[in-house]
Structure 1
Amino acid sequence: MASNTVSTQIQLVNRPVGWPTDADFRTVTVDLPELAAGQIRVANEFISVDPYMRGRMNDVKSYIPPFVLGETMTGAAVGRVIASANEAFAIGDVVTHQYGWRDLVQEDAAGFRVVPELPGVPASAYLGVLGMTALTAYVGLLEIAGLKEGDTVFVSGAAGAVGSMVGQIARLKGAKRVIGSAGSPEKVALLTSKYGFDAAFNYKDGSITDQLAAAAPDGIDVYFDNVGGEHLEAALASLNDGGRAALCGAISLYNSTDAPAGPNNLSNIVTRGLTLRGFTIGNYWAHLPAFSAEMAAWLDSGEIVFDETVVDGVENSVEAFLGLMRGENTGKMVVRTGGLIPTL
């Protein structure tokens, strides 16, 4: 039985060059002290691994500070309070926070948010369909790209955590046609059979530009970019006059050691009057209440569905992250730490 005072944690010890390896990380155990006034102790049930974390492994200026070498990595997680020295948090409360990559966390209560337990919905949903992942899809599609009823939408990385939400939200908000790309026949089939995409293609099967043109013969109005590179070039070729692109990620480039070549058709931005707008979700938390209300209703009605790829054991967090970067996930990739049963 796991101890409720010994925390297993994952730390970054080297700055990866290209693809991260196991040697860039270490697993440590930390004895937690007695709770100080205002603190709580949480047994994580699930922690999140996300593409943006690759950027944080580099010591470069960005929208979020890099991971500190020799310190435990952070990120989204959900768990239960198992000890509390703060009257606002009771033992057994489900909370979300940003102290990921460990099975037990003890910090000031200000860093945690109590969330409701929803019947039939796993706590891990707060890392995906009810969390930052789906909020990113919601904001990127509606606020950044300005989706309009009747638009044709293209989503790259469409079977991933964000992409699968983008396609479904676009359909619910009145898109005329929704097209997605993915990296396997199984994922392509899932896009049309489960997530409601009108068309999908495997980007490994040939020219992305040609496949997108075939799927969208009348062009596209909105592009949601999770991949960058050749996908962005294909979207620039297909965007209609006045088209808009929300640039969310560029996972195809994150582990590259060579300077990436830019799309060769950037002049289309000028000649077609296109708008390409990058964003990070940290600047759009004001949309959380509206998103939460709509997403809860969609989930309750069955209009939104979601998948998770679950890796067991906090000690396997690095392998889960590398699997995510290799595209081995369908939907949200999470690590199930197991958590502890609170003692009341």
Structure 2
Amino acid sequence: MTTLFDPIKVGALSLPSRIAMAPMTRSRTDQPGNLPNDMMAAYYAQRASAGLIITEATQISRQGQGYSFTPGIHSDDQVAGWRVVTQAVHEAGGRIVNQLWHVGRMGHGMFHADGLPVAPSAIAPDASVWVVDPKTNRAGMVECPVPRALKTTEIAEVVADYAAAARNAKVAGFDGVEIHAANGYLIDAFLRSSSNKRQDRYGGSAQNHIRFAIEVVEAVAAEIGADRVGLRISPFITQRGMDDPSAPETILEMAKALARIGIAYIHIAEADWDDAPETPRAFRSALREVFSGSIIVAGGYDKERAKVILDAGLADVVAFGRAFIANPDLPHRFAQDLPLSAFDSETLFGGDHQGYTTYGPYAPGA
């Protein structure tokens, strides 16, 4: 039987275990400039025993930002900051990929000159994002405005931004990239009829709905190699105005194209809130049939649930999010059946070292 501690080859990456650290927004960058810093390097290096680290979502451009203090990878200073992070992780024996992100309509107007985020169509997401008011320095959740629809000619520019971000990730020393196409962000919004009402070649049929995603993947793969590219999906998300019964079939069509391109993995972000829709076994099996690369799953998994899905052959790697926050030595704790520490939810977004790098390895009686 496959276990969490078995090595695996995922594309070009050789992982010592099937335990991944899931991407988690923590908003700890230096300002101005959304710069990765030494504190972030320490945070990720503490967790380098993961088979694979997937970084927090990282905006590919100024236009791609929607939350405060999230990192970018589109300026020279940002690339230099990330280079410190990757070097720290590699020196600690880890592997790390950068999650490329454009929030689309899931953002606040304060990050845009005209006050409007961009999206496939001018439809608000019925969602809020975490921002810090630059005048009062107060942080909180703020409702997203109605976005403006991208012009057809602008879409090629966004694709080019993804390619440039992938090129920057390579310069910064990342082992690969994961393209964020889940949770209502820009690529996901193109995939769904609930958020995409376009009448051009990017809307209407399933093939048109996946066109933007495929163009992005091809552009990124051309920069760093398809075997160093992953893509995150959330087929069954219903929040953020993303409820679309046809989305799973559209995503399976996309997966067929991704298999032809030869990307390393698909990462399923499973909803993990109360009463959230489950990911059906039929979808997992169908994805296995059409996609030949590795499959990563994330969403409220613990050690036992991870064992079940690995034993069933429906996933190759399991990513853990919240558990890695307070347990930087999570693989060791899993291997030795040690208790897990709880994280402080008050220190998730923004702040300093407290609740970020202050969690230590397991200590009996601590």
Q: Fold conserved (TM > 0.5)?
A: no
More strand by share: 1
TM-score (norm 1): 0.31
Larger Rg: 1
Q: Which fold has the larger relative contact order, with Cα–Cα distance below 8 Å and residues 6 or more apart in sequence?
A: 1
TM-score (norm 2): 0.29
